[in-house]
Structure 1
Amino acid sequence: MNSNNKTIACPLDCYDTCEAIVVDGKIRGNKGHFPTDGKLCSNFIACLKADYLQTPLYNNRKITLEESLNILVEKLKNVNANNSLFYKGSGNLGVMQSSLKSFFAKYGSTLTQGSLCDGGGGFGIKATRGEVVNPPIEKLLEADVIIVWGRNFSVTSSHMYELVKDKTFITIDPIKTHIAKRSELHLSLNPKTDYELALLLTRFAYMQDMEDDEFCEKFDTSEDFFDLAKSRPIISYEEATGVSLDDINRFFEIIENKKVALVLGLGVQKYYEGANITRCIDSFAAFLGLHNSSHHSGVWYLSNSTYGYESQFDTTNSLIKEDVSEVDFAEYEFVFIQGANPVVSAPNTKRVINGLKNSFVVFMGTTYNDTCEYADLIIPSCSFLEKEDIRLSYGHQYKSVSNKINEPSKDTISEYDLTKYLYETFNFDGLKDEKEVLDYYKSSKAKEYVFDNFEFIDDIEIEHLYEQKLENEYYFITAKQKRSLNSSFKIDNYLYLNPKTNLKDGSKVKLRSKYGEASFEVKLTQDVKPNCVLCYAGNKKANYLTPYKSDETSHSAMYQEVLVSIELP
């Protein structure tokens, strides 16, 4: 390892996008990178210690990199491109990771569209604002009060949290999360009632004369939104959400005459109508004036990290796309999976496994995961320490630069080098030089987003889970936890229930939904509402229960659009 003060960008799928620096042969947090501020989080440290793949495998037999590339090319030359699928995950979010997608677009593979993560919410925010772009992170530091809605902020954004940890927090979440326990107020609402809570808060904002007249007059669609908010009796909102009017009053006592920010998470949009649920929350924030930078500190979601940059890899040749939540791998003769673990992370695990068993599967990634069990060919990618890359952030406006500090193992290959090899083998043109791409992102400054449009939502139709829920059924909640990141690192496979279920710690139960069933070991906690069950992200059984259908508008997954029953063995 060199000790020439090179920077390293964390490749992981989280808001912070931290940056390290090599000093005297040791990796340290980079004090010169504002969000990182010299600190490394547990996920980055776990990434440094990961057991990386070193050798390609073909039918579970070790082979050389050259042999693996020959097998890949032979398969690609002998399969109908229309019968192939390229499936990219978020195991590494560096900009160079998109190079392979450009090859498969030219080759003619089916690509995926939509998201397993933030798609519905992003679609909703784009409908109200035009773009999914966060304010500068410095605006968050100016806030007196931060409303955390459906996001375990101190866990999923630990670096950003460190910058603002002394603020006053209000948390809105069905689960008593880590940040909820550190908040002045926790509104523990029922799942999928976030839009109703937003409308209720809008009513109270108006009654307490806290709406932002200046903002509402500038974007004159607010009147129809307010009509929507007052279309129901207040008491009906209280009953639906499970949030008391006393707590609503306390909410406004805390934020009155304060500079407020809202940090919005993914939990609110894991439903069929996730886009419009998010639009309601964003419209409430606008009604209150949170987007008015002269008074408040804005609304944060999972930002479009590439906003203001020009794409350096062309995928316009792709004419065939399939919703990522609805992919049936069995429909394809050839499947290439890059940096993903759909066996754990995609909806409806049983369907995913059956599909992979009926296709020729190539996996490219840095570590062996559950999906590798069903891969015919495994091509090891270089670790993030062994290749150059740039990491753009969806949590803030700062980018991180990752330099190569180690030479790659002889039987591993970077995503870009594999792309270049395939371009040359198939006589494709149009791939930009690696240095040219890296220099573009290093030297370019993304244009700033100008907030010059807002369209309040004026109508919403929601199929309420609480109207479908039977007495013996529970809302199914998924959430992030501190020791893991999606399906990586220390996975928690427990099912969390409230003690009022009258079950015992360690007891075995079977959960059943209309999409599937799975068995779990129980852990009891007061952090979970009595009408909910909780699985943390990466739980190997959780997605046996979830729907593989897409949401209403964004071609994306809707993991929490499901009710479950509990059966004893």
Structure 2
Amino acid sequence: MNLNNLNTIACPLDCFDTCEAILDGENIKANKEHPITKSKLCVNFANLLKEDFLENAFINKQKINLDESLDFLIKKLEETEPKKVLYYKGAGNLGVMQSSPKSFFAKYGATLTKGSLCDGAGDEGISLGRGFNINPPIENLIDSDIIIVWGRNLTVTSPHMYNLIKDKTFITIDPVKTKIAKKSEIHFQINPKTDHELALLFTRFAYMEDLEDEEFIQNNSSGAEDFFELAKERPIVSYEATTGISLSDVSKMFELIKGKSVSILLGIGPQKYYEGANIFRAIDSFAAFIGLHNKDKGGVWYLSDSNFGYEKKFQSQTLNKVDLPEVDFSKYDLVFIQGANPVVSAPNTKRVIEGLKNSFVIFFGTTFNDTCEYADVIIPSSNFKTKKDVRLSYGHEFKAISNNIENKNTNTISEYELTKYLFEQFDFEDLISEDEAVNYYKNLNPKRDFHIENFNFLEDLEVDNLYEDKDENQFYLLFGKRKENLNSQFESDNYLYLNSKCGFDEGDEVKASTSFGEANFIVKLDDDIKENCIVLYAGNKKANYLTNYKSDELSSSAVYQEALVRLELL
């Protein structure tokens, strides 16, 4: 990779691949020199290039100039008690420079959020076992023989990474028969929230097949005996009814992987529950039991800590924090929302809207979204093509570099420019220069030793099983990813999908209800979905009327799928 190429532009979107493009004349094309992007841009990056970016500031939906909106922001900050100001940042842009405003709000004394709406529980589970969360080098994945895709819609969420491994042998674990599941040698169409049970069942089979890695267990781990005792607590046959997985298919998998190098690609689906961290820890413990860690081929991949090995250049220490899923916007006199769309993406939409209506909301972002409808002030951020940035990847070890390849609209302001302005207005010091911050992330390649010195196996596990509460007229709630949009960005799909055997017809209008809320949907039939599940795609504007806003047990993160849905024909 040529880090000094001034024509490169990084995709800022929240996905595994972290594409890098290059300005070629007047056209933006995939950067062939980038190890992951290669010669093709994904659909999401292509959609982003066609986005209508904000070009004006607004107060009460009336156009104003940028300076007026900034003056209004300063006035509100000066007259509001700092801890009654909420700084709420989304993942609309994941460049490192996007964290700069957070440093101001921390220094100012605002309330910040902690936790995640996405991957937090899984990250916690991985870190509890290994002591860190970084992925092995991408070559380990490319060189492996068998790839287990566990709760990850691989061809949609990681198209570039998929192209690097598309000729491998796949095994898929997913309640939905995704494209990668159809291509797999084995598809385990698992019941939701039983992934920990399947990991324990796999561990039993591994022991019976003499596939445990005794060297790793003895020299690089602790608690393996207790983990195996967990796996032995139940009769093997009892797992068939709860997981929906046949023992014959499990036996077939172990015949397939014996003597082969194996990789596991984890998605975010299996950790969207209250005990999500320990569900993931069970999966990673199974991987450790059969020796997938510390090898030259294979391993386990998830959303790794992209900042691992870097020093934070924008400090944000504060005592005032609130769990991200549990934010009650109405408790704050001023809410500053940056690059987020909580009206669609945050859990329990009705509560979110009621909270926004009862606070003063300033929105700072590049595009007009659903949340802007509830904003008193909109400050337009400069779009990603007009500012310097570095996009670190959580899917692999490579970064993407953004240069300002076009002139910015003078009525917009970048995240760093806003931060500098706020620092100056409040006489704050110690803000690193833009060039110094960008060059630090651009030029540093920290050593990332993925080898585990001491793996801590999961030793105790208590999970409130959804299948124990579910009656025959209820469905498991699943959130999926689709090719045409990314979370709440681009084209939305507001249908409810379920299997044709569930007693509803295409086009039926139904009321879906959970213990947390209700909403009406139009039915779409899809026999790739397990019969006891419904699927709502990320970005569905009504989906989060059904979800719980409470945090998971360990990581202050969202539990979107911790719900059972009842459907009523309207």
The TM tier, using the shorter chain, reads over 0.9
User: Is the contact made by 2:145 and 2:260 (CA closer than 8 Å) also made in structure 1?
Assistant: yes
Runs of 4 or more consecutive aligned structure 1 residues displaced over 2 Å after TM superposition: none
Give the structure 2 partner of residue 298 of structure 1. Answer: 299
Give the structure 2 partner of residue 36 of structure 1. Answer: 37
Query: Distance between the aligned counterparts of 1:181 and 1:541, measured in 2?
Result: 29
Query: Distance between the aligned counterparts of 1:339 and 1:564, measured in 2?
Result: 31
Q: Secondary structure at the match of 2:29?
A: strand
CA drift of 1:202 comes to 0.4
CA drift of 1:475 comes to 0.4
Equivalent residues in 2 for 1:220-369, closer than 5 Å: 220-294=222-296, 296-316=297-317, 318-369=318-369
Equivalent residues in 2 for 1:199-218, closer than 5 Å: 199-218=200-219
Query: Distance between the aligned counterparts of 1:379 and 1:515, measured in 2?
Result: 33
Q: Secondary structure at the match of 1:20?
A: strand
Query: Distance between the aligned counterparts of 1:85 and 1:339, measured in 2?
Result: 14
Q: Secondary structure at the match of 1:279?
A: helix
CA drift of 1:496 comes to 0.3
Give the structure 1 partner of residue 430 of structure 2. Answer: 430
How many pairs does the alignment contain?
564
Give the structure 2 partner of residue 520 of structure 1. Answer: 521
Equivalent residues in 2 for 1:443-522, closer than 5 Å: 443-449=443-449, 450-522=451-523
Matched, 1:396 2:428: no
What's the CA shift string for 1:16-40, capped at 9, x where partnerless?
Answer: 0010011122111111110111210
Amino acid at match of 1:265: G
Equivalent residues in 2 for 1:96-111, closer than 5 Å: 96-111=97-112
User: Is the contact made by 1:476 and 1:562 (CA closer than 8 Å) also made in structure 2?
Assistant: yes
What's the CA shift string for 1:505-544, capped at 9, x where partnerless?
Answer: 0110000001000000000011111111100000000000
CA drift of 1:183 comes to 1.1
Output the aligned Cα RMSD.
Answer: 0.9
CA drift of 1:73 comes to 0.6
User: Is the contact made by 2:121 and 2:557 (CA closer than 8 Å) also made in structure 1?
Assistant: yes
CA drift of 1:125 comes to 0.5
TM-score by length of 2: 0.98
Query: Distance between the aligned counterparts of 1:23 and 1:87, measured in 2?
Result: 36
Give the structure 1 partner of residue 546 of structure 2. Answer: 545
Q: Secondary structure at the match of 2:306?
A: coil
Amino acid at match of 2:260: K
CA drift of 1:41 comes to 0.3
Query: Distance between the aligned counterparts of 2:447 and 2:319, measured in 1?
Result: 29
Matched, 1:123 2:129: no
Amino acid at match of 1:394: Y
Query: Distance between the aligned counterparts of 1:21 and 1:292, measured in 2?
Result: 36
User: Is the contact made by 1:475 and 1:533 (CA closer than 8 Å) also made in structure 2?
Assistant: yes
Query: Distance between the aligned counterparts of 1:160 and 1:453, measured in 2?
Result: 29
Query: Distance between the aligned counterparts of 2:454 and 2:344, measured in 1?
Result: 39
Give the structure 2 partner of residue 379 of structure 1. Answer: 379
Query: Distance between the aligned counterparts of 1:105 and 1:123, measured in 2?
Result: 24
Amino acid at match of 1:22: L
Give the structure 1 partner of residue 53 of structure 2. Answer: 52
Q: Secondary structure at the match of 2:237?
A: helix
Query: Distance between the aligned counterparts of 1:46 and 1:75, measured in 2?
Result: 35
Give the structure 2 partner of residue 164 of structure 1. Answer: 165
Query: Distance between the aligned counterparts of 2:190 and 2:293, measured in 1?
Result: 24
User: Is the contact made by 2:86 and 2:336 (CA closer than 8 Å) also made in structure 1?
Assistant: yes
TM-score by length of 1: 0.98
Amino acid at match of 1:504: D
Amino acid at match of 1:324: L
User: Is the contact made by 1:5 and 1:23 (CA closer than 8 Å) also made in structure 2?
Assistant: no
Query: Distance between the aligned counterparts of 1:199 and 1:264, measured in 2?
Result: 16
Which stretch shifts more, 169-178 or 95-104? 169-178
Give the structure 2 partner of residue 555 of structure 1. Answer: 556
Give the structure 2 partner of residue 175 of structure 1. Answer: 176
Q: Secondary structure at the match of 1:461?
A: coil
Amino acid at match of 1:14: C
Query: Distance between the aligned counterparts of 1:182 and 1:92, measured in 2?
Result: 32
Amino acid at match of 1:390: V
Q: Secondary structure at the match of 2:125?
A: helix
Give the structure 1 partner of residue 153 of structure 2. Answer: 152
Equivalent residues in 2 for 1:65-80, closer than 5 Å: 65-80=66-81
Give the structure 1 partner of residue 534 of structure 2. Answer: 533
CA drift of 1:150 comes to 0.7
Give the structure 2 partner of residue 91 of structure 1. Answer: 92
User: Is the contact made by 2:222 and 2:454 (CA closer than 8 Å) also made in structure 1?
Assistant: no
Query: Distance between the aligned counterparts of 2:491 and 2:354, measured in 1?
Result: 26
Query: Distance between the aligned counterparts of 1:46 and 1:27, measured in 2?
Result: 12
Amino acid at match of 2:362: V
Matched, 1:13 2:1: no
User: Is the contact made by 2:479 and 2:535 (CA closer than 8 Å) also made in structure 1?
Assistant: yes
What's the CA shift string for 1:355-384, capped at 9, x where partnerless?
Answer: 000000000111110000000000111110
What's the CA shift string for 1:437-480, capped at 9, x where partnerless?
Answer: 01111111112124212010011000000001112111000011
Amino acid at match of 1:9: A
CA drift of 1:178 comes to 2.0
User: Is the contact made by 1:132 and 1:304 (CA closer than 8 Å) also made in structure 2?
Assistant: yes
Query: Distance between the aligned counterparts of 2:506 and 2:183, measured in 1?
Result: 26
Which stretch shifts more, 455-464 or 214-223? 214-223
Q: Secondary structure at the match of 1:22?
A: strand
Give the structure 1 partner of residue 191 of structure 2. Answer: 190
Query: Distance between the aligned counterparts of 1:493 and 1:256, measured in 2?
Result: 43
User: Is the contact made by 2:6 and 2:403 (CA closer than 8 Å) also made in structure 1?
Assistant: no
Give the structure 2 partner of residue 408 of structure 1. Answer: 408
CA drift of 1:416 comes to 0.3
| Unmatched 5+ stretches in structure 1 | none
Query: Distance between the aligned counterparts of 2:385 and 2:232, measured in 1?
Result: 55
Matched, 1:568 2:543: no
What's the CA shift string for 1:162-210, capped at 9, x where partnerless?
Answer: 1001101100011111211121111001000000000000000110111
Q: Secondary structure at the match of 1:234?
A: coil
Query: Distance between the aligned counterparts of 1:199 and 1:335, measured in 2?
Result: 44
Query: Distance between the aligned counterparts of 1:477 and 1:525, measured in 2?
Result: 14
CA drift of 1:5 comes to 6.0
CA drift of 1:276 comes to 0.3
Query: Distance between the aligned counterparts of 2:481 and 2:158, measured in 1?
Result: 11
Q: Secondary structure at the match of 2:530?
A: coil
